[in-house]
Amino acid sequence: MNTPKLRFKDNNGQEFPEWNFPELHEIAVKVKDKNKNYENNTVLTNSATLGIINQSEYFEREIVTEKNLSGYYIVNVDDFVYNPRISTPAPVGPVSRNLYRQGIMSPLYTVFRFSTGNLNYFEQIFKSKCWHIYIKSVANTGARHDRISITDKLFFSLPIIFPSLLEQQKIATFLSAIDTKITHTNKQIALLKQYKKGVMQQIFSQQLRFKDDNGQKFPEWERLPIGVKVDLLCGYPFDYSDISKDVSNTRLLRGINITEGWIRHSHKIDRYYHGSTDKLKKYRLQTNDLVIGMDGSKVGKNSALITPLDARALLVQRVARLRTNSLVSVQFIFQQINSIKFHAYVDRINTSSAIPHISAKQINNFHIGFPNLLEQQKIVSFLSAIDTKIQSAKSSLAALKSYKQGLLQQMFI
């Protein structure tokens, strides 16, 4: 452990004492109480993203039966639990504080209880990455590639950053305030998404109608298959040998690049074509093309509009490109593609093979109601305004998380 770059001062502006670095076993004990009399049947699990929650709610089904609960550890509120299962992208499994309720936990987990110190502070320690290096350095590579094999002795030898109790409290209070903002922003995003989903159902079922600038009703909608209004093209089947990670070549737009509402990029997933593009002009993407992933667990849900960043990229097999001559129309169709109705349609008709799939014909055959262009514009403007608020909240959330990670890195080196 190194001296932190960021330190707090006491209420008189004086520096706190230097930090101590006790091993975990000096300030915490392993919980060994087992559920021998079957007194508790609330089985908990430790999720990297959700923390400690009810196992049946997490997996949406019962995982264990009553006959094997006697060997489970009893976990009290404020106990901490280490899950040896690696949680990508983190290189180690999570340690979480039980804020849910008393329950029991599989003996695969390590349960421990602090005897001193500020529990809110310890929560923040285990949200940082400072302890990952130690775990990786002492863990054995077991038969299970997704689990870390480590003895109790080595785990409880983990060095813990231990400031004075007053500085622990100041650190915990400061970081918890950021956590509160993160939680609030997450709720804001969820509420905006829920609101948009509700108004989309009303708009596309025509329960909610817009009026023109004179307050008059628009004409009735015309119900047509999407294929009547768009030019749909499926991507080109590039040879694997012609694809590389060399960014000097032509960018490819693959299904893995498309997520719910936007195009994502990273060195890990981006690929490029190093062959001749002379005969591939029709596969060049244009700004405001609508692309839909045709395979995978989120088939039909992964769709996005092409921005200038991805214009001129080449469309790859198993991705559909929808193009119209009207910006308003393609934006309107994009909102329809993101509706519950289209997702339900895809779930109903996609193939039952190992990899869910939808065909170009099935996309073309999806019927939607088409208002005239003026009403389409009003609908698009209304829904896009909600999208802008959602994106703004997501940007704020990303900034908050980045800010906190920067602080953790400076505090817990």
279-320 pLDDT, tens digit each: 999 999 999 999 999 998 888 899 999 999 999 999 999 999
Contact yes or no for 360/299 (Cβ under 8 A): no
Domains of the chain: 24-162 (no CATH), 167-214+371-413 (1.10.287), 222-369 (3.90.220.20)
Q: Which residues contact 298 (CB under 8 A, 6 or more apart)?
A: 260
Is residue 306 within 8 A of residue 312, CB to CB? The reply is: no
Q: How confident is the model at residue 124 (pLDDT cuts 50, 70, 90)?
A: very high
Mean predicted lDDT score pLDDT of the chain: 91
Per-residue model confidence as pLDDT tens digits over 258-272:
999 999 999 999 999
Q: How far apart are CA 362 and CA 114, in angstroms?
A: 58
120 and 176 Cβ atoms separated by less than 8 Å: yes
Q: Which of 360, 284, 272, 292 is nearest to 315 (CA)?
A: 284
* Whether 75 contacts 47, CB under 8 Å: no
Strands annotated E in 301-386 = 303-305, 314-315, 319-323, 367-370
Q: Which of 236, 318, 306 is nearest to 275 (CA)?
A: 236
What is the per-residue pLDDT across 22-59, written as a single tens digit (0 to 9) for each? 999 999 999 999 988 777 788 999 988 889 999 877 76
Side-chain-side CA neighbours of 182 within 13 Å: the count stands at 13
pLDDT tops 70 at residue 383 = yes
Following DSSP, what letter does each residue of 189-211 receive, concatenated? Answer: HHHHHHHHHHHHHHHHTTSS--B
| Per-residue confidence (pLDDT) for residue 90, from 0 to 100 | 77
Distances (CA, A) of 378 to 253, 284, 375, 382: 31, 30, 5, 6
Kindly give, in sequence order, each residue whose CB lies less than 8 Å from that of residue 179, ignoring residues fewer than 6 positions away.
Answer: 404
Q: Hey, how many other C-beta atoms are within 10 angstroms of the C-beta on 233?
A: 17
Tokens of 176: 């918890």
Of 106, 107, 110, 108, give the one whose Cα is nearest residue 96: 110
pLDDT per position as a tens digit, 170-225: 999 999 999 999 999 999 999 999 999 999 999 999 999 999 999 999 999 999 99
62-107 per-position pLDDT tens digit: 555 555 788 899 999 999 999 988 876 778 889 999 999 999 999 9
Q: How far is CA 181 from the centre of its chain?
A: 18
Res. 143 pLDDT band, cuts 50 70 90: very low
Q: Are 88 and 145 in contact (CB under 8 A)?
A: no
